[in-house]
Structure 1
Amino acid sequence: MLDPAEQVLRMAFVTGLSRRVATPWIQVALASTVPAAEAAREGRMVWVPSHTDMARRFPRTALALPYPIALGVVPVSSGPTRWGSLLQLWPGTHEPALSERETRALEEGAERIACLLQRAAEAGHPVRSTELRVMDPPPTRHAEAGADLTERLPEGICALDLEGRITFLNGHAVQLLGGTRDGLLGARPWDALPWLNDPVYENAYLGSLFSRLPTSFSARRPPGQWLAFHLYPDATGVSVRVTPGEAPGDGGEGDGVQDPVLTPTAVERTRPGALFQLLHLSSVLTDAVGVRDVTDTVTDHIMPVINAQAMALVTADEGRLKVVGCRGFRRDIAEVFDGLAMSAETPVVRAIQNGTPLFSTDGDELRRTSPSVQLSPDKASFAYLPMFASGRTIGCCVLGYNRPHLFPPDERTALISLAGVIAQALERARLYDSKNQVALGLQAALLPHDLPRIPGLQVAARYLPATRGLDIGGDFYDLIRLDDTSAAAVIGDVQGHNVNAAALMGQVRTAVHTHASAGAPPDEVLARTNRLLIDLRSTLFTSCLYAHLDLRHHRARLATAGHPPPILRRPDGGTEILDVPTGILLGIEPEAEYRTVDVPLPPGAVLALYTDGLVEVPGTSLDTSIAEFAARLGNADPRSLDALSETLVRRAGRTRQSFRGSDDIALLLIKPDARGAG
């Protein structure tokens, strides 16, 4: 389901998988390149017939779901309202295309869901994705009496639910697996049996569960007995046959099924769930650009997965600690560490200085041995994970647990790797933020800090940069007071997104201001500014729209150099896209001439000047986009220009995010009132 305010999709309902398995994929940004987001964003079905095709089109999803599956997503919407998307998985053996029956079922299902959501919203009880809800699987098909049948079979039979827990096993399975029936029932095999505690074995179960395809493998039970496992999944769980097997290379005939031999390769093993959750985090962090994005991603996606109740990201800068992200710890504890000197005797400083992780399974013991250490009194266990990036330790990731936590070797390995992934993302984000701050500062310095107050005239301006690093835009606007009854308004866009574009933008704005203040008419202002750009020998071109506002007679004289046409909203709410003779862009033709046009500007009317970033939408013609913007302007409330400009720019900003646009947005609204007649 789509959260329009945050522009994210949150998993609301799931069936066929457990909450534990679904949690790593519970939230994605609407702008991200994953199937569920693409279907919701673009309003069309997305069909991925194989994992190979997924790796090519959606590498992030392929990394997170490395199983032989096919995937289909349809948008869930009613009219202009986007509710989210409906995603279904099929085995990878599915035909390359959906059948007509399957396509119709998907589309009708999405339509029925949309109708229910619309009805709930209209009734004042909108459905919101506040918590993942796991729908019950289909009911079991057979009575318990069927267990007698399995006891007669000469092989082990057991059943796993969607959580991977053993819900049934016959006597032969108990004998082959070892242990006791009571010890195995309700447990996951890889938890209850040490010789199955390896990523490859749990991953075989996950692969079978996601793909709904039979899976087989062999494993060695100490001291030397080989067993063959055959997994048969459906929507309710996985049935498993366990039979004596042959050692690799013995060439046993068995039942004709060739089982891949999966053997442990490391003493300290990483749980497959943790492994793929770590891979998923790595792919999610590629979308995070700033430090705030990284910390939000880590706390939102990782804490539920690793079952930590608190997390803090602490960096070391200029000999002091800085808490860049914190959740779950008490505020006063975070404040103690923020600004703490690196000479302090704390586990955080020790982990950063030594580059060695520290795991405290008993917080009380740590308090006794290190009484000066500041710890959250409500936390029982802690992990202090040094974060390495660019060949150095940049900080520490601190985890807190409400209950005693043992940190087995496999989990320690996963957590240490996790800290490394976070550190690399954090280092990139800090570099981005520093460049972005410089770019935004330069950009802001070249734009007017405040527009002049002119009697008889209301104005509002908005600027939304698309700055990434040092990718500085060249959009500009200005309002110039000429005398008691006249003013000038200008808006323009320098080609390119770099420091040169920003510098030229400053020169153009200064030139326009100078010529306007000298009393030049609109056509002369543009012609003189054009000659300046020619003399500067700039390789960049500039669009510009200049308006001379006659407040006494309620008229405006307009001239344009290749800029999008202004829009006039009349007092009665009707809108008009003004037909201004289009001159050539500034900086191309030395002898270019520009023409002016007079238009009425009555009290209560709104004149909108804007740059193309406000209206451009990929796949839509510019004329259509401008007409749609004019309609929005006509339907909006013009009483407060500040509120009106904020609404128009916010709407354009959401559109730009949905289509991953990268152009700046500038908007200048002008509204004369009756006082201008004096």
Structure 2
Amino acid sequence: MTESAESQHWAPGRLTALLTGAVAEAMRAVGGHVGGVYLRSSTPGLLRLAVLAGLPGPLFRPWWRMHVDRPFPVADAHRLGVEIQLADLTETMRRYPQLAAGLPFRFGSVYVPVVGASTAYGVLSVLRPATADTSSAPLDRDRLTEAAQALGAALLDLELEADGPEVVWDGEPLCVPPPGDGAAPVHTGRGAAGDGAADLLPEGVFTLDRLGRFSYVNPRAALLLGRPSAELLGQFLWHAVPWLEQPAYEDQLRGALLSRDPVHFQARRPQPPGEEPGSGERYGDRLSLSVYPGPDGLTFTAVPVGREAEATRAASHPGGAGRDEREDGDPPFGPLTAPTALADVPATAAAPTNGTDALYPPVILALALSEAVTARQVSAVVMQELLPAFGGRRLAIYLLQDRHLYLAWESGFPKGFLDPFDGVALDVRLPGVETLTSGRPLFFESMQQLAAAYPGIALDAEQGARAFLPLIASGRPVGSCILGFDRPRGFSPQERTVLTALAGLVAQALERAQRYDTEAALARGLQAALLPHRLPVHPRVETVGRYLPGTQGMDVGGDWYDVVEAGDGLALVIGDVQGHGVQAAATMGQLRSAVRAFALGGHPPEEVMSGTNRLLIDLDPGQFASCCYIRLDPLTGAARAARAGHPQPLLRRPDGRTEVLDLPGGVVLGVAPDAVYPVVDLHLEPGAVLALYTDGLVERPGTDIDEGIERLRAALARAATPTRRTGPSLGGTADLLIEEARRTTDRPDDIALLLTTRRATR
């Protein structure tokens, strides 16, 4: 990469020097091996990766751009102004499944907002080795915060200079070595200890630095890659060997760079130049590649798959074709005393066995299960995701209750065949029972094997294989799972291990689903009790509220609205607590009570917001909420408004003109104890309609929230045109605004809406 991406208004290198220095300091503070900084761009709401340290940029092109409304930690850190820490893949999957789906590798990460005064410039991001929890990792929080604050202050200084433009980044990222690596020198093949000996190895060996450039190539690797060593050294892998620029291969390299775990895969190579057509088997049409990460980059070994591989293996093991005894994490040429071939190392990209992908990634099933909240939904995920990956056609899931197993889901079995097994006790000798009581999976390659192990057991017409898996979550029995196959088949040790592990994921999801019913009923009752049953009736002001629960997962959340009669005025309130479920509903109830108390006490809007903010920090550190509070004088229409990270209100004037109010506001509640919430004076004319709403009404996946707000503004304007004058009633207007959302069966978030109008006086 070059510095062409840097804004032309700055002196060359000035901005990038600030950015690279901040990234290096953040990496040292966290003990990270990868760092980067996102900056705002000239496109509103879009962040761009400006500097990337320790990784080759082309491998991470999908993450160069990040919209602030996407469910990613970078976006949340920038939008909310908070630091985000993720200890490992498990926590990343739980909190940010989209990130885990794209980068399902073992690493932890930290994201710190870069702010100068009140200007949010971007986010410092650091990746580090995964840990059991964030508290056990070396993390100098003060040093990390100081690095972000220093960068924010420096960027602010740039803008404050005479005629200084806004600091934005609109180009590609600048890719630099990690701190301490200097210029990442390129070896010639003899300049490093052991390289000379590696030249003699029968397998191909080459290395890449952290930016993806060749730093060493032995003669055998040059032959297999089809390019002389001199033409490869110093070149980027994808430029010099373009046939390796494929998504499947790139994903393997991303895993090695981020998790620092060795990976093994096979790659198909083109016919080398000068080789006669049809003679590709001489060197093998495919290469078996093993990648070993290190602090300075990646070390590759390359062995052809085919006749040449057999010759290499024989030369490496003159006494017999024994398996390589080297540990997976050891360098491929260790002390250089016993060179070995890796052609017999399992390759993750190799062809499946028995039509099965034995390395079906658990992360795929985990991501799908994270969206399932009932036993039926969990079973459907298993049917759609797990069973096809292993060639299965039949599924039965039994859940444990009162020491009996009850059939919760079945698919593919003859009608009524499983009825006799529904409700069996745990002392009955059946494979579905014994797999749970023993905790051991049972695999039968044919129905004959099953009948021999359990004489007299009822069999269906199909004579295929069966797998009985225990469903155990955190040491507690949940039930058992039966996978059926149409024909006999074997189960490799690797398949048995993967199936057993995946059964554990299913058990966790089912246990969570069993808790869901109880928690959902409690949360629904709690929220029904906390939302206002009716709004105050005032002779000069009419108010209408609407609430729609989300339909994904827990169907209650933290959205609320309220109208409070306080002295000679009315307080109009709307808010949104982060998250869903009992905790969000309970926090919502506490905040609603706090706002009511402050309003009844006659406090001005800025004190209501700041007092509620401090209360939330004391009640539940780490919980966030947005809120908009407006104090209205019904007689004059004068109003004073304060906003805490909440969407802007809408105002429809009596003549039908509708606008988005531009209210300056403070950060969301629960973040900064000393946050300031500015107040704006408004005027509500008789016949005008003021609309307060939560983001669930205007957000749509894959679109900008501003587009949703504009749709809502247009809908509010259409509800009363100049020809229709007043249009429908206020309640009818509210129903029109939520009509589309009400028809949507897949709502990820709950929705609250509060409309207010002043009646015209005679």
Taking structure 1 as the reference length, what is the TM-score of the superposition? 0.50
